[in-house]
Amino acid sequence: MGLWFKGVRSSKWVYASHDFGGRNRHWDIVNLFIHIFTKLSQVDVTRVLITGASGFIGSHLTKKLADDRNEVVVLYRDAVPSLWLEEALENCVKVRGDIRNLELLKRVVNEYEIEHVYHLAGETIVGRAYRDPINTFETNLTGTLNMLEVCRQLDVKQVLVQSTDKVYGAREEAREEDRLVPLEPYNTSKICQDYLARCYVETYGMKVAIPRCCNVYGYDRASRIVPNIIRSCLREDPPVLYAGEEETTRQYIYVGDTCNALTFIMKKNWIGPINVGTNDVLTQAQVVRRICQHFGIHERLVERQKTFKQISKQSMNWSRFRTLGWGPQFTFDEGIKLTIEAFKRYRGDWDRR
Protein backbone atom coordinates (compact mmCIF):
# COMPACT_ATOMS: atom_id res chain seq x y z
CA MET A 1 0.00 0.00 0.00
CA GLY A 2 1.21 3.54 -0.67
CA LEU A 3 0.15 7.16 -0.31
CA TRP A 4 1.03 10.44 -2.01
CA PHE A 5 1.89 13.35 0.30
CA LYS A 6 2.72 17.00 -0.34
CA GLY A 7 5.77 18.37 1.46
CA VAL A 8 5.35 20.99 4.18
CA ARG A 9 8.26 23.10 2.86
CA SER A 10 7.88 22.20 -0.80
CA SER A 11 5.25 22.04 -3.52
CA LYS A 12 6.58 18.63 -4.59
CA TRP A 13 4.58 15.44 -4.04
CA VAL A 14 6.32 12.35 -2.71
CA TYR A 15 5.18 8.72 -2.66
CA ALA A 16 5.53 6.59 0.46
CA SER A 17 4.79 2.88 0.32
CA HIS A 18 4.56 0.28 3.08
CA ASP A 19 3.53 -3.35 3.42
CA PHE A 20 0.54 -3.77 5.78
CA GLY A 21 0.76 -7.53 5.70
CA GLY A 22 2.34 -7.82 9.17
CA ARG A 23 0.57 -9.10 12.30
CA ASN A 24 0.72 -5.81 14.19
CA ARG A 25 -1.16 -3.28 12.09
CA HIS A 26 -0.68 -0.57 14.74
CA TRP A 27 3.10 -0.64 14.36
CA ASP A 28 2.70 -0.92 10.59
CA ILE A 29 0.87 2.43 10.60
CA VAL A 30 3.50 4.02 12.87
CA ASN A 31 6.27 2.79 10.57
CA LEU A 32 4.42 4.17 7.55
CA PHE A 33 4.30 7.66 9.03
CA ILE A 34 7.97 7.45 10.01
CA HIS A 35 8.67 6.54 6.38
CA ILE A 36 6.53 9.48 5.18
CA PHE A 37 8.39 11.90 7.46
CA THR A 38 11.73 10.63 6.18
CA LYS A 39 10.61 11.06 2.57
CA LEU A 40 9.37 14.61 3.18
CA SER A 41 12.57 15.60 4.96
CA GLN A 42 14.50 14.55 1.86
CA VAL A 43 12.53 16.84 -0.47
CA ASP A 44 14.78 19.65 -1.73
CA VAL A 45 14.08 23.14 -0.39
CA THR A 46 15.75 26.03 -2.20
CA ARG A 47 17.76 28.38 -0.02
CA VAL A 48 17.33 31.86 -1.47
CA LEU A 49 18.93 35.25 -0.81
CA ILE A 50 17.07 38.40 -1.87
CA THR A 51 18.93 41.71 -1.74
CA GLY A 52 16.91 44.91 -1.57
CA ALA A 53 14.06 43.02 0.12
CA SER A 54 12.63 46.14 1.77
CA GLY A 55 12.13 47.79 -1.63
CA PHE A 56 9.15 47.67 -3.97
CA ILE A 57 9.76 44.56 -6.08
CA GLY A 58 11.99 43.01 -3.41
CA SER A 59 9.27 42.96 -0.75
CA HIS A 60 6.69 41.45 -3.12
CA LEU A 61 9.19 38.83 -4.32
CA THR A 62 10.15 37.97 -0.74
CA LYS A 63 6.53 37.32 0.19
CA LYS A 64 5.98 35.14 -2.88
CA LEU A 65 9.08 33.00 -2.35
CA ALA A 66 8.38 32.60 1.37
CA ASP A 67 4.74 31.68 0.63
CA ASP A 68 6.06 29.09 -1.82
CA ARG A 69 7.90 27.46 1.13
CA ASN A 70 11.44 28.39 0.13
CA GLU A 71 14.01 29.13 2.83
CA VAL A 72 14.40 32.87 2.30
CA VAL A 73 17.16 35.11 3.64
CA VAL A 74 16.76 38.83 2.99
CA LEU A 75 19.35 41.59 3.01
CA TYR A 76 18.31 45.23 3.27
CA ARG A 77 19.93 48.49 4.34
CA ASP A 78 16.92 50.57 5.43
CA ALA A 79 13.31 49.70 6.17
CA VAL A 80 10.58 52.18 7.09
CA PRO A 81 8.28 50.34 9.54
CA SER A 82 4.98 49.37 7.92
CA LEU A 83 2.30 46.70 8.12
CA TRP A 84 3.03 45.63 4.53
CA LEU A 85 6.74 45.16 5.15
CA GLU A 86 6.05 43.30 8.39
CA GLU A 87 3.83 40.87 6.48
CA ALA A 88 6.15 40.57 3.48
CA LEU A 89 9.26 39.76 5.53
CA GLU A 90 7.48 37.68 8.15
CA ASN A 91 8.67 34.17 7.26
CA CYS A 92 12.32 34.77 6.46
CA VAL A 93 15.73 35.42 8.00
CA LYS A 94 16.42 39.16 8.09
CA VAL A 95 19.91 40.60 7.74
CA ARG A 96 20.46 44.35 7.85
CA GLY A 97 23.48 45.63 5.96
CA ASP A 98 24.89 47.26 2.83
CA ILE A 99 25.65 45.37 -0.39
CA ARG A 100 28.89 47.36 -0.62
CA ASN A 101 30.11 45.37 2.39
CA LEU A 102 31.90 42.43 0.76
CA GLU A 103 32.64 40.55 4.00
CA LEU A 104 29.00 40.76 5.07
CA LEU A 105 27.86 39.25 1.79
CA LYS A 106 30.39 36.43 2.15
CA ARG A 107 29.20 35.66 5.65
CA VAL A 108 25.52 35.59 4.69
CA VAL A 109 25.93 33.44 1.56
CA ASN A 110 28.28 31.01 3.35
CA GLU A 111 26.44 30.79 6.68
CA TYR A 112 23.01 30.18 5.15
CA GLU A 113 24.33 27.97 2.32
CA ILE A 114 22.58 30.07 -0.32
CA GLU A 115 21.75 28.33 -3.63
CA HIS A 116 19.91 31.08 -5.53
CA VAL A 117 20.44 34.85 -5.36
CA TYR A 118 17.94 37.47 -6.52
CA HIS A 119 19.96 40.69 -6.62
CA LEU A 120 17.49 43.58 -6.57
CA ALA A 121 19.26 46.03 -4.26
CA GLY A 122 20.31 49.38 -5.63
CA GLU A 123 19.15 52.88 -6.45
CA THR A 124 15.97 52.55 -8.52
CA ILE A 125 14.50 56.06 -8.66
CA VAL A 126 15.60 58.10 -11.69
CA GLY A 127 15.22 61.46 -9.93
CA ARG A 128 17.29 60.43 -6.90
CA ALA A 129 19.98 59.02 -9.16
CA TYR A 130 20.11 62.34 -11.01
CA ARG A 131 20.58 64.25 -7.75
CA ASP A 132 23.18 61.84 -6.31
CA PRO A 133 25.10 60.08 -9.11
CA ILE A 134 28.08 59.10 -6.93
CA ASN A 135 25.98 57.09 -4.49
CA THR A 136 24.03 55.61 -7.42
CA PHE A 137 27.14 54.31 -9.18
CA GLU A 138 28.72 53.07 -5.95
CA THR A 139 25.59 51.17 -4.94
CA ASN A 140 24.57 49.80 -8.33
CA LEU A 141 28.07 48.90 -9.52
CA THR A 142 30.13 48.09 -6.42
CA GLY A 143 27.20 46.30 -4.83
CA THR A 144 26.59 44.18 -7.93
CA LEU A 145 30.30 43.41 -8.35
CA ASN A 146 30.50 42.31 -4.71
CA MET A 147 27.45 40.09 -5.07
CA LEU A 148 28.70 38.45 -8.26
CA GLU A 149 32.17 37.86 -6.83
CA VAL A 150 30.83 36.28 -3.64
CA CYS A 151 28.55 34.02 -5.69
CA ARG A 152 31.54 33.01 -7.83
CA GLN A 153 33.77 32.27 -4.85
CA LEU A 154 31.10 30.27 -3.01
CA ASP A 155 29.70 28.44 -6.06
CA VAL A 156 26.14 29.74 -5.86
CA LYS A 157 24.06 27.75 -8.35
CA GLN A 158 22.08 30.59 -9.93
CA VAL A 159 22.05 34.37 -9.79
CA LEU A 160 19.52 36.90 -11.06
CA VAL A 161 20.61 40.52 -11.53
CA GLN A 162 17.61 42.79 -11.98
CA SER A 163 17.87 45.17 -14.93
CA THR A 164 15.44 47.55 -16.65
CA ASP A 165 14.07 48.65 -20.01
CA LYS A 166 15.78 52.01 -19.38
CA VAL A 167 19.05 50.53 -20.68
CA TYR A 168 17.71 50.79 -24.25
CA GLY A 169 17.19 54.56 -24.08
CA ALA A 170 14.48 56.13 -26.23
CA ARG A 171 13.55 53.10 -28.30
CA GLU A 172 10.27 51.32 -29.05
CA GLU A 173 10.02 47.53 -29.50
CA ALA A 174 13.60 47.14 -28.25
CA ARG A 175 15.13 43.65 -28.51
CA GLU A 176 17.74 42.00 -26.32
CA GLU A 177 20.47 42.36 -28.95
CA ASP A 178 19.90 46.11 -29.44
CA ARG A 179 22.56 48.61 -28.42
CA LEU A 180 22.38 49.95 -24.85
CA VAL A 181 22.24 53.75 -24.71
CA PRO A 182 23.50 55.75 -21.70
CA LEU A 183 21.43 58.90 -21.14
CA GLU A 184 21.46 59.77 -17.42
CA PRO A 185 22.97 58.39 -14.16
CA TYR A 186 20.30 55.78 -13.40
CA ASN A 187 20.13 54.11 -16.80
CA THR A 188 23.92 54.35 -17.21
CA SER A 189 24.48 52.61 -13.87
CA LYS A 190 22.09 49.85 -14.95
CA ILE A 191 23.93 49.44 -18.26
CA CYS A 192 27.19 49.03 -16.35
CA GLN A 193 25.49 46.55 -14.00
CA ASP A 194 24.21 44.64 -17.03
CA TYR A 195 27.72 44.39 -18.49
CA LEU A 196 29.20 43.29 -15.17
CA ALA A 197 26.73 40.41 -15.01
CA ARG A 198 27.48 39.40 -18.60
CA CYS A 199 31.21 39.58 -17.84
CA TYR A 200 30.81 36.96 -15.10
CA VAL A 201 28.83 34.76 -17.49
CA GLU A 202 31.45 34.94 -20.23
CA THR A 203 34.56 34.86 -18.04
CA TYR A 204 33.62 32.43 -15.29
CA GLY A 205 30.75 30.48 -16.84
CA MET A 206 28.36 31.53 -14.10
CA LYS A 207 24.61 31.11 -14.48
CA VAL A 208 23.42 34.71 -14.31
CA ALA A 209 20.01 35.83 -15.60
CA ILE A 210 19.51 39.50 -16.46
CA PRO A 211 15.78 40.28 -16.74
CA ARG A 212 15.15 43.70 -18.27
CA CYS A 213 11.71 44.62 -16.92
CA CYS A 214 9.40 47.32 -18.20
CA ASN A 215 7.65 49.74 -15.79
CA VAL A 216 6.49 47.75 -12.77
CA TYR A 217 3.44 48.96 -10.84
CA GLY A 218 1.66 47.71 -7.74
CA TYR A 219 1.51 48.53 -4.05
CA ASP A 220 4.54 50.79 -3.59
CA ARG A 221 5.26 53.63 -1.18
CA ALA A 222 7.78 55.32 -3.48
CA SER A 223 7.06 58.35 -5.65
CA ARG A 224 6.14 56.81 -8.99
CA ILE A 225 3.32 57.58 -11.41
CA VAL A 226 0.84 54.83 -10.44
CA PRO A 227 1.19 55.10 -6.63
CA ASN A 228 1.06 58.90 -6.82
CA ILE A 229 -2.19 58.84 -8.82
CA ILE A 230 -3.86 56.28 -6.53
CA ARG A 231 -2.85 58.11 -3.34
CA SER A 232 -4.26 61.37 -4.75
CA CYS A 233 -7.53 59.71 -5.73
CA LEU A 234 -7.95 58.04 -2.32
CA ARG A 235 -7.51 61.47 -0.72
CA GLU A 236 -10.11 62.84 -3.16
CA ASP A 237 -7.47 65.15 -4.60
CA PRO A 238 -7.47 65.34 -8.43
CA PRO A 239 -4.25 63.68 -9.65
CA VAL A 240 -1.72 65.58 -11.73
CA LEU A 241 -1.21 65.21 -15.48
CA TYR A 242 1.80 67.22 -16.60
CA ALA A 243 1.28 69.51 -19.57
CA GLY A 244 3.38 68.55 -22.57
CA GLU A 245 3.94 65.02 -21.22
CA GLU A 246 0.52 63.59 -22.05
CA GLU A 247 1.93 61.42 -24.83
CA THR A 248 4.94 60.14 -22.86
CA THR A 249 4.72 56.38 -23.41
CA ARG A 250 5.76 53.43 -21.26
CA GLN A 251 5.14 49.68 -21.10
CA TYR A 252 3.57 48.43 -17.85
CA ILE A 253 3.60 45.17 -15.88
CA TYR A 254 1.88 44.37 -12.57
CA VAL A 255 4.22 43.49 -9.70
CA GLY A 256 2.58 40.09 -9.21
CA ASP A 257 3.37 39.21 -12.83
CA THR A 258 6.90 40.55 -12.36
CA CYS A 259 7.55 38.24 -9.40
CA ASN A 260 6.14 35.28 -11.33
CA ALA A 261 8.39 36.19 -14.26
CA LEU A 262 11.54 36.35 -12.11
CA THR A 263 10.92 32.96 -10.49
CA PHE A 264 10.02 31.50 -13.90
CA ILE A 265 13.35 32.72 -15.31
CA MET A 266 15.25 31.02 -12.49
CA LYS A 267 13.34 27.75 -12.95
CA LYS A 268 14.23 27.83 -16.65
CA ASN A 269 17.94 28.26 -15.78
CA TRP A 270 18.05 31.23 -18.13
CA ILE A 271 21.45 32.84 -18.72
CA GLY A 272 21.95 36.39 -19.96
CA PRO A 273 19.55 39.24 -20.81
CA ILE A 274 15.83 38.73 -21.45
CA ASN A 275 13.04 41.29 -21.87
CA VAL A 276 10.14 41.02 -19.43
CA GLY A 277 7.13 42.90 -20.74
CA THR A 278 3.44 42.89 -21.60
CA ASN A 279 1.20 44.30 -24.32
CA ASP A 280 0.15 47.21 -22.05
CA VAL A 281 1.93 50.13 -23.75
CA LEU A 282 0.22 53.30 -22.56
CA THR A 283 0.63 57.07 -22.63
CA GLN A 284 0.80 59.05 -19.41
CA ALA A 285 -2.65 60.50 -20.16
CA GLN A 286 -4.11 56.98 -20.59
CA VAL A 287 -2.59 55.81 -17.29
CA VAL A 288 -3.93 58.80 -15.34
CA ARG A 289 -7.43 58.62 -16.84
CA ARG A 290 -7.82 54.84 -16.56
CA ILE A 291 -6.96 54.99 -12.87
CA CYS A 292 -9.28 57.98 -12.35
CA GLN A 293 -12.15 55.94 -13.80
CA HIS A 294 -12.03 53.72 -10.70
CA PHE A 295 -12.78 56.77 -8.53
CA GLY A 296 -14.95 59.01 -10.69
CA ILE A 297 -12.34 61.77 -10.45
CA HIS A 298 -10.88 63.95 -13.23
CA GLU A 299 -7.22 64.85 -13.49
CA ARG A 300 -5.79 68.38 -13.39
CA LEU A 301 -3.25 69.68 -15.90
CA VAL A 302 -0.11 71.15 -14.34
CA GLU A 303 2.95 72.83 -15.83
CA ARG A 304 6.35 71.80 -14.51
CA GLN A 305 10.00 72.52 -15.18
CA LYS A 306 11.93 69.36 -16.01
CA THR A 307 15.19 69.03 -14.10
CA PHE A 308 16.67 66.57 -16.61
CA LYS A 309 15.86 65.11 -20.00
CA GLN A 310 13.45 62.19 -19.87
CA ILE A 311 12.69 59.50 -22.45
CA SER A 312 9.49 60.31 -24.32
CA LYS A 313 8.58 56.88 -25.74
CA GLN A 314 9.84 53.49 -24.69
CA SER A 315 8.80 49.84 -25.03
CA MET A 316 10.34 46.41 -25.54
CA ASN A 317 9.73 43.39 -27.72
CA TRP A 318 9.27 40.48 -25.29
CA SER A 319 8.65 37.70 -27.85
CA ARG A 320 11.72 35.75 -26.67
CA PHE A 321 10.27 35.46 -23.18
CA ARG A 322 6.87 34.53 -24.61
CA THR A 323 8.38 31.61 -26.51
CA LEU A 324 9.60 30.16 -23.19
CA GLY A 325 5.96 29.74 -22.20
CA TRP A 326 5.48 32.77 -19.94
CA GLY A 327 2.67 35.29 -20.14
CA PRO A 328 1.15 37.86 -17.75
CA GLN A 329 -1.85 36.84 -15.66
CA PHE A 330 -3.20 40.37 -15.21
CA THR A 331 -4.27 43.10 -17.63
CA PHE A 332 -3.43 46.68 -16.75
CA ASP A 333 -6.92 47.36 -15.41
CA GLU A 334 -6.93 44.14 -13.35
CA GLY A 335 -3.55 45.02 -11.87
CA ILE A 336 -4.72 48.55 -11.06
CA LYS A 337 -7.78 47.19 -9.27
CA LEU A 338 -5.57 44.95 -7.10
CA THR A 339 -3.21 47.86 -6.45
CA ILE A 340 -6.06 50.12 -5.32
CA GLU A 341 -7.28 47.39 -2.96
CA ALA A 342 -3.77 47.12 -1.47
CA PHE A 343 -3.52 50.89 -0.98
CA LYS A 344 -6.84 50.81 0.87
CA ARG A 345 -5.77 47.84 3.01
CA TYR A 346 -2.45 49.41 3.99
CA ARG A 347 -3.65 53.01 4.21
CA GLY A 348 -2.18 53.40 7.67
CA ASP A 349 1.29 52.84 6.16
CA TRP A 350 1.20 55.80 3.80
CA ASP A 351 -1.55 58.23 4.86
CA ARG A 352 -0.33 60.02 7.98
CA ARG A 353 -2.84 62.88 7.87
Residue 342, CA distances (Å) to 87, 220, 347 in order = 13, 9, 8
List, for residues 314-330, the tens digit of each pLDDT value. 999 999 999 999 999 99
Closest CA to 270 of 165, 167, 159: 159
Per the structure, how many domains does the chain have? 2
pLDDT reported for residue 286: 97
Give yes or no: residues 76 and 55 share one domain: yes
What pLDDT shows up at residue 254?
98
Residue 141 CA to residue 209 CA, distance in Å, equals 17
Q: Are 272 and 210 a contacting pair, CB within 8 Å?
A: yes
Predicted confidence band of residue 20 (pLDDT cuts 50, 70, 90): very low
Split at pLDDT 50, 70, 90, the class of 57 is very high
The answer to whether residue 336 scores a pLDDT higher than 50 is yes
pLDDT above 90: residue 138: yes
pLDDT at 34: 57
Assess whether 130 and 259 both reside in one domain: yes
Is-contact 253 214, C-beta < 8 A?
yes
End-to-end CA distance of the chain: 63
Same-domain pairing of 13 and 68: no
CATH number, residue 209: 3.40.50.720
Condensed to tens digits (0 to 9), the pLDDT of residues 153-202 reads: 999 999 999 999 999 999 999 999 999 999 999 999 999 999 999 999 99
Q: What is the pTM of this model?
A: 0.86
Which of 111-125, 133-147, 160-174, 294-308 has the lowest average pLDDT? 294-308
pLDDT score of 248: 93
**Same domain for 325 and 220:** yes
pLDDT band at 275 (very low <50, low <70, confident <90, very high): very high
| Residues 71, 34 within the same domain | no
Please indicate, yes or no, whether residues 8 and 100 belong to a single structural domain of this protein.
no
305 band by pLDDT with thresholds 50, 70 and 90: confident
Which residues, 6 or more positions from 24, have their beta carbon under 8 angstroms from its beta carbon? none
pLDDT at 215: 96
Residues 289 and 154 reside in one and the same domain: yes
pLDDT grade for 37, boundaries at 50, 70 and 90: low
Q: Which residues contact 129 (CB under 8 A, 6 or more apart)?
A: 123, 136, 184, 185, 186, 189
Q: Is residue 244 very low, low, confident or very high in pLDDT (cuts 50, 70, 90)?
A: confident
What rounded mean pLDDT belongs to the chain? 89
Q: How many CA atoms, within 13 angstroms, populate the side-chain half-sphere of residue 44?
A: 4
| The pLDDT of residue 8 | 39
Query: Is the domain of 185 the same as that of 57?
Result: yes
φ/ψ bin of 279: left (φ > 0), alpha (ψ from -120 to 50), beta (otherwise): alpha
Residues 27 and 100 in one domain: no
In this structure, are 27 and 114 located in the same domain?
no
CA-based R_g, the chain, Å: 23
Region 204-233: mean pLDDT is: 96
Instruction: Give the pLDDT of residue 121.
Output: 94
Burial class (CB in 10 A: 0-12, 13-18, 19+), 163: buried
pLDDT tens-digit series, residues 61-111: 999 999 999 999 999 998 888 999 999 999 999 999 999 999 999 999 999
pLDDT at 27 over 80: no
Nearest to 289 by CA among 303, 278, 300, 304: 300
Q: Which of 22-36, 94-108, 262-276, 337-351 is predicted least confidently?
A: 22-36
Q: Burial of 258 by CB count in 10 Å (0-12 exposed, 13-18 middle, 19+ buried)?
A: buried
Which residues are within 8 A (CB) of 155 and not within 5 positions of it... i.e. 6 or more apart? none
pLDDT tier at 124, thresholds 50, 70, 90: confident
- Name the band, by pLDDT with cuts 50, 70 and 90, for residue 45: confident
- Whether 276 and 321 have beta carbons less than 8 Å apart is answered as yes
pLDDT at 42 over 70: no
* 67 and 125 housed in the same domain: yes
What span, in angstroms and rounded, lies between the C-alpha atoms of 342 and 220?
9
Say yes or no: 264 and 185 in one domain.
yes
Angle between helices 225-234 and 284-292 (to 10 degrees): 30
Question: Does residue 12 register a pLDDT over 80?
Answer: no
Query: Which pLDDT belongs to residue 304?
Result: 83
CA atoms within 13 A on the CB side of 131: 7
Does 308 score more than 90 pLDDT?
no
Query: Which domain does 14 fall in, by range?
Result: 2-41
